[in-house]
Amino acid sequence: MTLSSKATALKTSFIIEKSIEPVYTGGSVSLSADGYIFSSSLGEDVKIINIDTGEKICFINGDSEIITSLALVLEGTRLIIASRSLMLRHYEIPSGNLIYSLKAHDAPIIVMESDITSTLIATGGAEGSVKVWDIKGGYITHQFKGHGSVISAIRFSTEIKKRKDRWLLATAADDYKIKVWDLVTNCCLSTLDGHISVIRGLDFSDDEKILVSGSRDMVLNFWDLDTFKLKNSVSLFESIESVQFLQKGLLVDNKQLIVTGGSKNVVRFWDYISGLEISQTSISKSKDVTICEIIYNSRRNILLSVLSDYSLVVHSLSSLKLPIIRRISGYYDEIIDCTYIGSDESHIAIASNSQNISIVDCLNLNFSLLEGHRDIVICLAASKNGQWLASGSKDNEARLWKFDIESNHFLNIATFTGHTDSIGSIALSSIKKGIIPNFLLTGSHDQTIKLWNLLNVEECCVKSLYTRKAHEKDINALDISYDDKIFISASQDKTCKVWDLYSGKMLGVLKGHKRGVWSVKISDYEKIAITGSSDKLIKLWNLYDYSCLKTFEGHTNSILKVLFVSSGQQIISSGSDGLVKLWTIKTSECVTTLDNHTDRVWSLCVSSSENIVISGGADSVINFWKDVTQEEKKRIEAEKSFFVENEQQLSNYIQCQDWKNAIILAMSLNHPYKLFMLFKEILNKNLPGFTDKSVMGFSVVDEILESLSLEQLSGIISRLRDWNTNFRTSYIAQRILYILLRTYDASYFLQISNIKKVLDVMIPYSERHYKRISGLIETSFLIDYTLREMEDFSDFSKP
């Protein structure tokens, strides 16, 4: 084993630069009136993001019950949530503070809708009742009963200013009937019966003369709101999940179009007067994907399509072709593998428990799909220049993809067939002739390895150069050396084998793991390799004699991925314990542990500059870890310098008895012991200027404690909590606490976030100190009594 000749600084510190987390996993969604803030339910919780950047604005923890409906109101500054707990909760955004909570219905709220002014919100329950609430006050303004089953759709009319004689609310239920209510007279104007399945969408035309309803019976109905008669009916030949009116004149002059979406995964525009379809746009190539909901935002002229595969698509309404502004994956499911792609590493490819490969833009997190595999994609490999991508799947096939500059997309160049079971590992050769890698290597659960020649892959049918029966169990990983001379295979049979790439001859076996091996990596700088196994160990191997050089222990569960970094001087690993660890080979020590996953971390990839490490796990979270080693070193050095300077300044203040500046500086240094010793020094009665008239001995010290900022008050309260736990330090804590309680109002203390917890700790100790002092005082009376009795005895004994 030889040392790397390339001097590279070792890494020690990483921070999360960004994370891709689940945004939508099904259920209720809402878009703010300005079209920028998006909220969605994640089981019992709610996540709020900026729809343009994907940045998380707020996360609302649930009440342990599944969210059934939600709505953003007041320009996205308020969020109304309903859950199966039957509670209606009102939150402030982005702080996430709960404004009020109340029981709304006798059954879960299924749908809710706010009016255009965000003054009222209507809720429809599973028991069939409809209630209208004042959003700010949290009280009921209207209550309507009449439906015989679950409320399935609800909509306010928007024409409030032009028609003050009536204000309409339309509701639909699973009884297939629509009711139109007048909020002015508080009565039902009509019951509309024209569907034979669940009604999923309702909307009013701009002039409030037409109500459109869309149902899963594949029919659009247009109702005249003057006569409450069916004016027109259109068959769509697909189950309708969403229907809305667009603004008049949008897309087509002098016409108000209707947009629909449903089971055929197509956004369609209709002329409601003629009943003719104007255009349609397919959202996804997959026939299994359906449109769950379409949200129209008139301010930004956009459509947000919510799909059954948990993806969100933002369309521009600049033309009938609906150009896509942004496509977001709401949920990637279990991240199995990922790799950087693109010449500038601007994208990553993700295999995520799906037959499609997701291509994600690292900058704005937009994603697209590579479709071609017929079963779940298990493994990925990218060429050094990022222009080629190889994938292996459970459909027993491997595919080669090439980046097309003109379309800015990957194209499927070749399909490799021949394995009889799932392809669990794949690798591309390092050396290129021209622009394409020389070879592709595949390892399968059929226990064989195949080598494929890629030089003429675009011109002829591809056949494997050789097939080798490599292991007794599934092959989990493959890696090719930087010079394309050897490769290593890792298997569930607890062994790794070293092979000659060109001949397919086995050169040696790496034995030592007690369980299956999940990952293997060959160093680009030395003739060594690392392996990670289910036995929780990482092993470093010498590829000259195939002996084990070192073993690294630290993970508490199976190790799933290992990579070299820092020119081969360090190892980065991930495991089933949800942790990513960085190791230094020379010292065999774990330098740092990165923890931001809640489940197995299957995938790791490192940028060519090694500034970014990406980890992807079974929790559907992808973390971008940024190397901040140099920044951290500079920060520590700056802190040390700052601390030394201020330590000297503090000593100078104490020497000069400049208590005011000394206390302010000691609090800013965040050094509890030095602050305590400072107060102890101040309470020394032998100091010149000390007076019993001041609580702290000096009036200037009392004045400082009486003029603290909220941040300073919060900090010193935390110190008092700690000092109060010990009787020998409690006397200082009690003196300071006396000044604080005498000076500041309770409302000022309540602005401290953790004040309740602090007081809960301080009260029992204060009571204990009080009892102790009371006991000492009572004991002192016994001394007084004894002395007095002794004086009387002395007087009696005199002659």
CA quadruple 69, 73, 77, 81: dihedral, nearest 10: -20
What domains appear along the chain, each with residue ranges and CATH number?
A: 19-115+131-140 (2.130.10.10), 146-235 (2.40.10), 241-331 (2.40.10), 337-570 (2.130.10.10), 632-783 (no CATH)
What is residue 11's DSSP assignment?
Answer: P
Closest of 367, 271, 273, 366 to residue 320, by C-alpha = 271
Rounded Cα gap, residues 232 and 120, in angstroms: 31
The pLDDT of residue 697: 78
What is the DSSP code (8-state) at residue 386?
S
78-104 residues labelled b (16+ CB within 10 A) or e (exposed): bbbbbbbbbbbbbbebeeeeeeeeeeb
Check: CB of residue 492 under 8 Å from CB of residue 516.
Answer: yes
Contact indicator for 494, 430 with CB cutoff of 8 Å: no
Phi, psi (rounded to 5 degrees) for 316: -90, 140
DSSP assignment of 77-111, as one string?
A: TEEEEEETT-EEEEEETTT--EEEEEE--SS-EEE
Question: How many Cα atoms occupy the beta-carbon half-sphere of 128 within 13 Å?
Answer: 11
* Largest pairwise CA distance in the chain: 136
pLDDT at residue 1 in the model? 41
pLDDT of residue 3: 42
Q: Residue 496 pairs with which residues in a beta bridge?
A: 490, 510
What does the buried/exposed string (b/e) look like for 249-267 if buried means 16 or more CB atoms within 10 Å of the residue's CB? ebbeeebbbbbbbbbbbbb
285: left (phi over 0), alpha (psi -120 to 50) or beta: alpha
CA distance 396 to 424: 9
Is residue 565 a contact partner of residue 607, using CB atoms and an 8 Å limit?
Answer: no
The residue length of the chain stands at: 799
Residues with pLDDT less than 50, the chain? 1-6, 161-162
**Nearest one of 214, 204, 282, 279 to 248, comparing CA atoms:** 204
Q: How far apart are CA 58 and CA 317, in angstroms?
A: 28
Rounded to whole angstroms, how far apart are CA atoms 666 and 647? 9
Per-residue exposure over 601-621, b if at least 16 CB sit within 10 Å of its own CB, e if not: bbbbbbbeebebbbbbbbbbb
Q: How far apart are the first and last CA of the chain?
A: 105
User: How many whole angstroms separate alpha carbon 628 and alpha carbon 594?
Assistant: 13
What is the structure's pLDDT at 792?
A: 66
Whole-angstrom distance, CA of residue 302 vs CA of residue 259: 12
CA within 13 Å, CB half, 163: 13
- Could you give the angle at which helices 710-723 and 672-682 cross, rounded to 10 degrees? 80
pLDDT of residue 66: 95
Query: In the prediction, which pLDDT does 87 show?
Result: 94
Give the Cβ contact number of residue 53 at 10 Å: 13
Under DSSP, the state recorded for 642 is H
Query: What's CA 474's distance to the chain center, in Å?
Result: 33
Burial of 227 (0-12, 13-18, 19+ CB in 10 A): exposed
For residue 446, the SS3 value is: coil
pLDDT at 459: 61
CA atoms within 13 A on the CB side of 39: 27
Q: How far does CA 27 lie from the centroid of its chain? A: 17
Find where tokens 């003196």 sit.
Answer: 735
Cis peptide before 94 (omega within 30 of 0): yes
Contact between 13 and 592 (Cβ < 8 Å): yes
Task: Write down the pLDDT at residue 406.
Answer: 65
pLDDT at 160: 54
CB 615 within 8 A of CB 625: yes
